[in-house]
Amino acid sequence: MKKILIILIVLPGVIFGQLNEKEILKKQASSMISRRQYEQANRIYEKIMEDYPVDASTAELFITNLMRMSKFEQAEEKLIQYNSILPDLAIMRLKLPILLGRGNFKEARKTALAFLNNNKGNIIFYHNIAQIFSQYRQNETAIEIYKMVRNIAKDDYLYIRELAQSYNNAGSYEKAIVEYFKLLEKQSGYSNYILNRLQTILQEDEKYIKTIKLESKDHPETNARELYALCLAAIGEFEQALLQYDELDAEKLSTFARKMKIAGNLDVAELAYKRYLKKV
């Protein structure tokens, strides 16, 4: 009875010690990576996998680090080695970057679409896969995947910010603007983020102010008009911007006056402040 009791007391301590050792090693590897000491991190990952051969999370970290070093051949070998212990999504998270890192864009797209076709019920899978293509600047494929998942979910507002950015990165600015205003409709807290993106688009070509104007009219329930006014100011259309502010509350006009003063547009700031005084 005493022997059994001793085993019961000691066994949890042994297991805890093993788990603790593994986590310490993983933290050491992470520290090495942060200092760009990738080879040292790999040696630690190899040791962990020797001691814990079914540790899927370490296997994924190990392969990811090999890709970080552009060692795609070795990464592929390790992926084959650890294939049986990795979840399907993890395999795809590793396989696609290996293909994309080698420039096999068509094969990567074909592989991704086949995987997603077999996992139509897993909406989050589409997001994960689309992000990988975005990271490798394969924006058209990312857009394709986001549109697919919207159709499946029957939700035109799904992954708005991600799709907007993919359109933006692909140079499809009109479509990006449409998505940015949908984002504004759903999450007004993104106003500054959206304004920044719209102003960047206008730096590419001021003609997109027409699209911004149309979208601001389609979203009257939000602060879309104020964003349109700020975009007008960004391209030097100050009088038109002030006309928009005439339809907004006085505090917004006061804020605009301060912004113009900070930007050094003192004449515009003065005009805005005078209009503000007439409103209050």
Same fold, 21-85 and 87-158: yes
Provide the 10 A C-beta neighbour count for residue 263: 12
Mean residue pLDDT of the chain comes to 93
At the topology level of CATH, where does 21-85 sit? 1.25.40
pLDDT, tens digit (0-9, with 9 covering 90-100), for 94-125: 999 999 999 999 999 999 999 999 998 899 99
Q: What is the 8-class DSSP label of residue 156?
A: T
DSSP per-residue letters across 211-247: HHHHHHHH-TTTTHHHHHHHHHHHTT-HHHHHHHHTT
pLDDT at residue 8 greater than cutoff 50: no
Determine the Cα angle at 104 with ends 165 and 75, to 5°. 95
Task: State the Cα torsion 77-129-153-106 to the nearest 10°.
Answer: -90
pLDDT, tens digit (0-9, with 9 covering 90-100), for 180-201: 999 999 999 999 999 999 999 9
Sorted by where each begins, the domain ranges of the chain are 21-85, 87-158
pLDDT, tens digit (0-9, with 9 covering 90-100), for 27-47: 999 999 999 999 999 999 999
Average pLDDT over residues 159-163: 98
Compute CA distances 233 → 89, 145, 242, whole Å. 46, 36, 9
Closest CA relative to residue 183, chosen from 207, 171, 199, 165: 165
Question: Do 71 and 63 form a contact (C-beta atoms < 8 A)?
Answer: no
pLDDT, tens digit (0-9, with 9 covering 90-100), for 197-206: 999 999 999 9
Q: What is the 8-class DSSP label of residue 119?
A: T
Q: What is the 8-class DSSP label of residue 207?
A: G
- pLDDT in the model for residue 221: 75
Banded model confidence at residue 10, pLDDT cuts 50, 70, 90:
very low
Banded model confidence at residue 274, pLDDT cuts 50, 70, 90:
very high
Q: Identify the architecture of domain 87-158 in CATH.
A: Alpha Horseshoe (1.25)
